[in-house]
Structure 1
Amino acid sequence: MIHAPPPARGDRDMLVATYNVHRGRPPAGLFRPEGIARVIAEIRPDLIALQEAQHYLRPDAPMLDEELLAREAGLRPLRLPDRPREQGWRSNIVLVRRDATVLRPPVGLRIGGMEPRGAIMAELDLGWGPFRLIATHLSLGAARRVRQGQALLAAMEAGAGAGLPTVLVGDFNEWRAGGSVLGVLRPAFGTPPAVATFPAFRPFLALDRIMTHPAGLAAAVAAHDTPLARRASDHLPLTARVSLRGR
């Protein structure tokens, strides 16, 4: 792996990614979280949200090597102030540039569901201006996803950063363009591009999404499809360029 600083901002847009890392396991194989770190280093995002990145029953047992991520990708975990021993919240982890400015500390959102699902919401500035981030992993059941989508909208509307653009990312477990939660979110976020990310070895389901409010701030939405990414997890990472210019 190449030791290098993150790419300079210059005139480019913010590179955002979301990645279900399958608890650090390949589609078929043993626990190998170093493979996840190498995929993240390939992407070199300014921000990446991870799902299934903590053990549900042992949240204070870190899965990711933070020194490796800092050295190879220039990223650090965005920790919740009330959970300093944990890298994230309910299996969600957000990694941001080391020089990111946290405008409002991240909070963990309880969004319901039989599985221990949740979301992380924070207000950040990574050098392109302030925005609100919501990173989540939604349930398998369609009815639960509808309620979770409603909970995310309520949290966004109740947030202190009124008027901030919002970037919503994660594994939605929804592949239908107007189905369940995507229909709930459409009035605020529009219809995001459907890019197949699952299963990693031959993707045909668009389970992962990058959405913005106002709609249309995300461009060049694509799966990060490399030999390493196909081996590291059962999902491919999803990436997008998010433009906050003039906002």
Structure 2
Amino acid sequence: MLKVASYNMRKAIGTDRRRRPERILDVLGEIDADIVALQEADRRFGTRAAVLTPHLLAEHSDYQAVPVAVRAASMGWHGNVLLVRKSAEILAATPIQLPALEPRGAVSADVAVAGTRIRVVGMHLDLSGLWRRRQAKAVLDHLADASDAMPSVMMGDLNEWRPTAGCLQDFARSHSIAETGPSFHAKRPVGRLDRIMVSPGLTIAECGVHVSPAARVASDHLPIWALLA
């Protein structure tokens, strides 16, 4: 069994409007996933500095960040970060260029966790439905163009409110979508904006939204998770 999670951490600005990165790590500790996809993990302007500093991540978590950053101060690519356990082996990693009017991106990594090799994609898609579908195609093309096949899991904030239309329809042609439940807004979740999707070869054994007092205040999104077999 492999546990994965996705979390739009909103640059660690909580529902109390305070930026406290340590609360994000507390929530990740509660979930205890093997692989985590983070969105909005870097600041948006200036040097795009990481919100979870390398020191904070190293000293207060069991995770290492997959090296996909292009900017020296960043942890991710357009705010997208993949975290894996320190015991995991990172076999390959790359940022994915997405077509967009505003800065958007995705990240991909091949990792070995407890002897299992898996390809992981983290993403944060556009607010526009037309651009989301173009971005979904870019992600799916990236997976299809890989020289070696392995089971894949895609996670992130898709910004898709409709349950089966748009980019979800595109992803569903090749991946199963976990029924995790509504994750936005953290105070009163009604939207299923955050998604976990897996390819054939992976089975979703359990899944859900992580709800705790810490999660309700740490970001405006609740994290989602899935147990994969």
**TM superposition score category, shorter chain reference:** over 0.9
> How far does the alpha carbon of each residue in 1:39-67 deviate from its partner, in whole angstroms, 9 at most, with x for none?
11111211111101111223552210334
Residue range with higher mean Cα deviation, 173-182 or 220-229: 173-182
Residue range with higher mean Cα deviation, 167-176 or 29-38: 29-38
Corresponding residue of 1:16: 4
For 1:63 and 1:76, the matched residues in 2 are separated by: 14
Corresponding residue of 1:113: 100
Stretches (4+) displaced over 4 A: 81-85
> How far does the alpha carbon of each residue in 1:51-103 deviate from its partner, in whole angstroms, 9 at most, with x for none?
01111223552210334433443101111276565311111011110011112
For 2:81 and 2:46, the matched residues in 1 are separated by: 14
User: Are 1:97 and 2:93 counterparts?
Assistant: no
Alpha-carbon contact 1:132-1:161 (below 8 Å) kept = no
Corresponding residue of 1:207: 193
Alpha-carbon contact 2:8-2:39 (below 8 Å) kept = yes
CA distance change for structure 1 residues 115 and 176 in 2, over 3 Å: closer, same or farther? same
Length-normalised TM-score, structure 2: 0.93
From 144, 168, 175, the equivalent of 1:157 is: 144
CA distance change for structure 1 residues 59 and 189 in 2, over 3 Å: closer, same or farther? farther
SS in 2 for 1:155: helix
Alpha-carbon contact 2:70-2:77 (below 8 Å) kept = no
How do 1:19-98 residues align onto structure 2 when only pairs under 5 Å count? 19-80=7-68, 85-98=73-86
> How far does the alpha carbon of each residue in 1:175-209 deviate from its partner, in whole angstroms, 9 at most, with x for none?
32211000011110134315100000111111101
Alpha-carbon contact 1:56-1:116 (below 8 Å) kept = no
Corresponding residue of 2:123: 136
Alpha-carbon contact 1:15-1:45 (below 8 Å) kept = yes
Return the offset for 1:227. 0.5
> How far does the alpha carbon of each residue in 1:81-128 deviate from its partner, in whole angstroms, 9 at most, with x for none?
765653111110111100111122x11111122221110011111114
Corresponding residue of 1:3: none
* Same amino acid, percent of matched pairs: 34
Alpha-carbon contact 1:90-1:116 (below 8 Å) kept = yes
For 2:21 and 2:61, the matched residues in 1 are separated by: 15
For 2:70 and 2:135, the matched residues in 1 are separated by: 23
SS in 2 for 1:188: coil
Corresponding residue of 1:232: 218
- In structure 2, the gaps of 5 or more residues are none
From 165, 182, 190, the equivalent of 1:179 is: 165
For 2:111 and 2:72, the matched residues in 1 are separated by: 18
Return the offset for 1:14. 1.1
From 100, 116, 124, the equivalent of 2:111 is: 124
For 1:168 and 1:84, the matched residues in 2 are separated by: 26
Corresponding residue of 1:10: none
Alpha-carbon contact 1:177-1:194 (below 8 Å) kept = no
Residue range with higher mean Cα deviation, 116-125 or 210-219: 210-219
From 148, 155, 159, the equivalent of 2:135 is: 148
Task: Kindly tell me the number of residue pairs found equivalent between the two proteins.
Answer: 229
Alpha-carbon contact 1:123-1:161 (below 8 Å) kept = no
For 2:46 and 2:221, the matched residues in 1 are separated by: 23
CA distance change for structure 1 residues 82 and 202 in 2, over 3 Å: closer, same or farther? closer
- In structure 1, the gaps of 5 or more residues are 1-12
Length-normalised TM-score, structure 1: 0.87
